[in-house]
Amino acid sequence: MCTSLLYFDAANRAYLGRTLELSIELPYQLSVFPAELELSSQADGYKPLSWQAKFPFLAVTMPAAIPEPGHVPGPADLKVVEGMNSAGLTFSVQSYAAAGGLDTEGDASSAGLSAADLGAWVLGQFSSVEEVKQALADLVVTVERVPILGGLKMPFHYSVHDAAGKSIVIEFHHGVRTVYDNPVGVMTNAPQFSWHLTNLNNYTFLTNVDHSKATFGSYEAVQSGAGIAKAGLPVTDTSVDRFIRAAFYAQFAEKQTDADKAVQMIAHIMNNFDRPRGVTVDYPDQGSGHLQVQGNEGDKVPTEFTSWTSLSDLDRKRFFLRDSGGMNFAEFDVADLGNSVKTFTSKPMAQLLPRPQNMTAALC
């Protein structure tokens, strides 16, 4: 359903790539949350938690409930799916069905944060992974039901990366919260993050060095072309296999010296996780499950596809985005937006992204 990975260039600058896969198109908004914006969260059974955004941030957002006709969604209505703030801190939401179960328990007289507001809370206040970890230590966070998902409890886990290249994963496995340090900078979906790391131990043989010659008896076998080093990579689009492939590409992709070329490199890497419609089809009687979103129910057999891909240049604070309607990325300067936009602004993502251009006239 989602793949994210951190790539480092030759100067050890960090770049985040992320894809989002679903079996439906959703009305994503691209939203600018300015500094000094007042934000709050209401977790059932706890006092409201309020904060003022210290850092402006840009985010791909979705409403938690279907908007009423004529209602313009505001910052309280839209929840962060992917975003970056002016300090180069990023936040990613990724599907994780095992997040259900008991809510986090705490003192009802204290303030609590709904997990639906975790992205705005992180991006608005912190500049580093360590700051996020410290702030989470004593904070009540509840996994609550989401109206637009038919009342399903927040079926997600969360990745946070900072400009220094540090990463954490926040999971609520059956309601039990764990914050993991992420030494590989990679995340997909279930099982638990700790399981993915253990499974990575089974792939110590992976290398990017082609072994194109071998001797069998007196026969000298020679490959007809390059690329045999990838033979050991798992090939399916399951979260388990994607985790291994993402770790491989992040590790071995050439380290660029130029930041623009590094952005191009992470774009090429993420192309390996781009999924066209119909490549895998999930018949209901075969055991697969998919998120169901109110107002977007369909009668077609589900086929997951890459709805959008984002790239984040954490050093230069630039955010790149494309959707399934085009292959070119739109670029957004998060620091510049933070200086220019003083009120909450949100527009449909599809209106902002480039479409293929007919360049015939340029050659005539």
pLDDT in tens, 27-37: 899 999 999 99
Residue 97 confidence (pLDDT): 85
In the structure encoding, which two tokens stand for residue 293, read together?
């979103």
Please tell me the distance from the alpha carbon of residue 92 to that of residue 159, in angstroms, as a whole number: 5
Average pLDDT over residues 285-293: 62
Q: Quick check: helix, strand or coil at residue 260?
A: helix
Q: Which residue has the higher pLDDT, 289 or 203?
A: 203
In the structure encoding, which two tokens stand for residue 120, read together?
């705005």
If one counts every other C-beta atom within 10 angstroms of the C-beta of residue 98, the result is 16
- Strand 140-142, strand 112-114: pairing: parallel
Residue 143: what residue type? Answer: V
Give residue limits of the domains in the chain. 2-202+235-363
Report the percentage of the chain scoring pLDDT > 70. Answer: 93
Q: Is the pLDDT of residue 18 over 70?
A: yes
Which of 119-128, 288-297, 323-332 has the highest mean predicted lDDT (pLDDT)?
A: 119-128
Q: Is the pLDDT of residue 302 over 70?
A: yes
Please tell me the distance from the alpha carbon of residue 333 to that of residue 337, in angstroms, as a whole number: 6
Please tell me the distance from the alpha carbon of residue 31 to that of residue 216, in angstroms, as a whole number: 60
Please tell me the distance from the alpha carbon of residue 308 to that of residue 274, in angstroms, as a whole number: 9
According to DSSP, the residues that pair with 113 across neighbouring strands are 141
| Whether the Cβ atoms of residue 40 and residue 75 lie closer than 8 Å to each other | no
Report the percentage of the chain scoring pLDDT > 90. Answer: 76
Average pLDDT score over the chain? 92
Residue 293 confidence (pLDDT): 55
Residue 303: what residue type? Answer: T
The per-residue pLDDT for range 149-183, each reduced to its tens digit, is 766 777 899 999 999 999 999 999 988 899 999 99
Q: Is the pLDDT of residue 294 over 70?
A: no
The per-residue pLDDT for range 331-364, each reduced to its tens digit, is 999 999 999 999 999 999 999 999 888 999 999 9
Q: Is the pLDDT of residue 127 over 80?
A: yes
Q: Which CATH architecture has domain 2-202+235-363?
A: 4-Layer Sandwich (3.60)
Q: Directed axis angle between helix 129-137 and helix 118-125, to 10°?
A: 120
Backbone angles phi, psi at 160, to 5 degrees: -130, 130
List b or e across 294-333, with b for residues whose CB sees 16 or more CB atoms inside 10 angstroms: eeeeeeeebebbbbbbbbbbbbbbbbbbbbbeeeebeebb
| Whether the Cβ atoms of residue 32 and residue 47 lie closer than 8 Å to each other | no
Residue 92 confidence (pLDDT): 98
Q: Is the pLDDT of residue 106 over 70?
A: no
Q: Quick check: helix, strand or coil at residue 230?
A: helix
Q: Which residues, in sequence order, are CB contacts of 240 under 8 Å at separation 6+?
A: 188, 191, 196, 199, 234
Q: Is the pLDDT of residue 1 over 80?
A: no
Q: Is the pLDDT of residue 117 over 60?
A: yes
| Whether the Cβ atoms of residue 162 and residue 131 lie closer than 8 Å to each other | no
